[in-house]
Structure 1
Amino acid sequence: MPDQSTIAVDAMGGDEGLAVMLAGVAKARGADEGMRFILVGDESRIADGLRKHPNLSAGAEVVHAPEVIGGSDKPSQAIRRAKTTSMGIAIDLVKKGRAGAAVSAGNTGALMAMAKISLRMLPGIDRPALAAPLPTLGANDVIMLDLGANAEVDARNLVQFAVMGAAYARTNFDLESPRVGLLNIGSEEQKGTGEIREAAQVLRSATLPLTFTGFVEGDKLARGDHDVIVCDGFAGNIALKTAEGTARFVADLLRRAFTSSIRSKLGFLISRPATELLREHLDPNNHNGAVFLGLNGIVVKSHGGASASGVATAIGNAAKMVRADLTRRIADDLGNVAQTMIRPAA
């Protein structure tokens, strides 16, 4: 049984470096004093950094790692260095039960490859899926998966993603029967690839712990009409990057408009509460933390460029998943619906 109060953190991963990672851990610790951490990385550098965060001294253990996975390292190279790198050791702490989850802002491909080999897949799952919450106009975010782990999938994979995403939504949003849709090029039943149509047929007819809402077009992702949106990793990653780019575009456009003249600056002062609310809602740091669903353990990927606030959000999400026993919930759901799943092709 993993230690549900402890999170292993790859302190050396990420674009912003050790200082931001430690600041994020300290922020998460400040929000929840019951959390404990194992900080993995260069022992002397972490010790120096911890002097700036006295609230961490009583709640953090340091495990030395002599190497770091670089952003350009190939997954095959990372796997061979799993036992000596901060990322690999953090994952191994989950495998050994010393931590309930691992959080890293490092190389996504390397993180997935090492996590898959070390933790293995849950029974009934063929491939892990990268899932993350995205902001919507609804009462809660929408869980979207896969966001890049699997460029090509079949109908069986899509059904598995739906079951895993629904379990995540029930945990994250406290929902009894999450609304699940399949991303497609149209809402009509005859639209899309054979894999998508076949997955839809299974989701419509099977007895699953979710409410299947049919096909979802790209312009409906943020409407709040769905709790989970399922797709292959190719389309999901493009949709995610497009949404992030659009959010930055809107923010930059507003900034340019409000500084174009004295009248615009006065208008900004009047509308500032509304623009601040918009900025906070669209800030990716407030939705940070993608999880590899389908593994026999919890591994969370923080955005490489996340701020300390974003790192704290990712850690908080990881802790919530551990306490809700998300891995067991997914395993139970898969066991309950095993007879409805598509048999793999010969």
Structure 2
Amino acid sequence: MKIAVDAMGGDHAPAEIIKGSIRAANKFTEITIILVGSREKIMECIPGTGLPPNMEIVEAGEMIEMDEHPAAAVRNKKDSSIVVGTRLVHEGKAGAIVGAGSTGAQMAAALFGLGRIKGISRPGIATIIPTLHRGKLLVDVGANPDAKPENLLQFAMMASIYSELVLGIEKPRVALLNIGSEEGKGNELVKEAYELLKKSSLNFVGNIEGRDIPAGNADVIVCDAFVGNIVLKTMEGLASSFAKLLKEKLTANALRKAGALLVKPGLKEFAQDLDYSQYGGAPLLGVNGTSIICHGSSDETAIFHAIRVAKECIERGIIEKIAMEVEKFGQINHDKT
């Protein structure tokens, strides 16, 4: 098994990308990690011990900047690290691509280079969010801000498969993110999507409001990318602000500092549960190949876990299972109509 990693994409590339990749290579010795990017810049970040034996470098002389138009950049920069890495997946030389650069560029590279799974009209980005009852899946968080009802249905179906196979959740509860829990609430998009989900073979539990997400009342939360991205960034901001405020209050004086030492193990676990880097990257569900999209600010830990997620997707045949289930899903719902 080989996993390609875009060494040049991300706020902390290539140093943190390489650190996370080396950590993954040392942990998962059964896989080979391919660093894609400028060999010269990559080698500058390699420790004195050198690359682990299960790591390779594939040269890519260009990189796509965050402010470039994604589709145009992918078309014009054929030798960019994300395009070359995605091409390795298309050619069967790698089983997955992991990237922390421009989300739009990685999506465009996947759509142009890998294509969509037959029957899927648009891919969706699914990410794990922390809740009171383990991590749950939110989809779409960045691919389609102008989604159609049938897109939301397909997102729900693919995320449900992912939740079952990768997260180990039997019959995942699927909910539609809305402004109210009652049927008939929301704009035309969610009202039409509600009807499609209700008629589907999914374990659809109805609408869910934003305040219910942290409680873990659903295993898969479905929405368009405009809403999903706002929800995701708001949760990340709240978690970061809450952690800073908690630290400030617990260290305000000597007595509180002494008390903080007693609860330090619990606080450490709490912080870890809220840390996005522990969940790895977000799979781009619906493209005909495994593409894991990471946060732009991903550090060593985030990249390590993103590679772990890519490994699990390959091992469990997520792409093949989604393709099979799309065909079966379509037939079941065709028979219902």
Identify whether the pair has TM-score above 0.5, normalized to the shorter chain: yes
Is 1:148–2:181 an aligned residue pair? no
Is 1:37–2:33 an aligned residue pair? yes
Is 1:295–2:287 an aligned residue pair? yes
Report how far residue 82 of structure 1 moved.
Answer: 4.1
Give, as a single letter, the amino acid of the residue that structure 1 aligns with 2:66: G
> Where does 1:108-257 land on structure 2 (aligned, <5 Å)?
108-138=103-133, 140-206=134-200, 208=201, 210-257=202-249
Distance 1:81 1:40 in 2: 18
Q: Which moved more, 1:278-287 or 1:229-238?
A: 278-287
> Where does 1:275-290 land on structure 2 (aligned, <5 Å)?
275-290=267-282
Q: Is the 8 A contact 2:62 2:77 kept in 1?
A: no
Give, as a single letter, the amino acid of the residue that structure 2 aligns with 1:110: A
The equivalent of 2:76 in structure 1 is: 81
SS at structure 2 position matched to 1:173: coil
2:13 corresponds to which of 6, 13, 17? 17
Q: Is the 8 A contact 1:156 1:341 kept in 2?
A: no
Distance 1:19 1:187 in 2: 46
Report how far residue 53 of structure 1 moved.
Answer: 5.3
Distance 2:310 2:253 in 1: 45
Q: Is the 8 A contact 1:150 1:234 kept in 2?
A: yes
Distance 1:302 1:53 in 2: 27
The equivalent of 1:321 in structure 2 is: 313
Distance 2:71 2:169 in 1: 39
Q: Is the 8 A contact 1:78 1:110 kept in 2?
A: yes
Give, as a single letter, the amino acid of the residue that structure 2 aligns with 1:50: I
The equivalent of 1:6 in structure 2 is: 2
- 1:91-115, Cα deviation, whole Å (9 max, x unpaired): 0000001101000110111111111
Q: Is the 8 A contact 2:22 2:52 kept in 1?
A: no
Report how far residue 30 of structure 1 moved.
Answer: 2.2
Report how far residue 52 of structure 1 moved.
Answer: 4.1
Distance 2:265 2:35 in 1: 38
Distance 1:53 1:255 in 2: 38
Distance 1:82 1:175 in 2: 40
Unaligned runs of 5+ in 1: none
Q: Is the 8 A contact 2:138 2:228 kept in 1?
A: yes
Distance 1:269 1:19 in 2: 33
Is 1:70–2:65 an aligned residue pair? yes
Give, as a single letter, the amino acid of the residue that structure 2 aligns with 1:190: G
Give, as a single letter, the amino acid of the residue that structure 1 aligns with 2:32: R
2:303 corresponds to which of 307, 311, 320? 311
The equivalent of 1:101 in structure 2 is: 96
Distance 1:131 1:63, change over 3 A: same
Distance 1:220 1:86, change over 3 A: same
Give, as a single letter, the amino acid of the residue that structure 1 aligns with 2:190: I
Distance 1:194 1:322 in 2: 37
- 1:169-189, Cα deviation, whole Å (9 max, x unpaired): 012222331111110000000
SS at structure 2 position matched to 1:126: coil
Give, as a single letter, the amino acid of the residue that structure 2 aligns with 1:279: A
Distance 1:114 1:28 in 2: 24
Distance 1:278 1:44, change over 3 A: same
Q: Which moved more, 1:90-99 or 1:67-76?
A: 67-76
Give, as a single letter, the amino acid of the residue that structure 2 aligns with 1:196: V
Report how far residue 160 of structure 1 moved.
Answer: 0.5
Aligned length: 334
Aligned residues with identical type, % of pairs: 38
Report how far residue 153 of structure 1 moved.
Answer: 1.2
Distance 1:231 1:126 in 2: 16
Distance 1:165 1:31 in 2: 27
Q: Provide the aligned C-alpha RMSD in A.
A: 1.5
Report how far residue 80 of structure 1 moved.
Answer: 2.2
Report how far residue 341 of structure 1 moved.
Answer: 5.7
Distance 2:181 2:232 in 1: 20
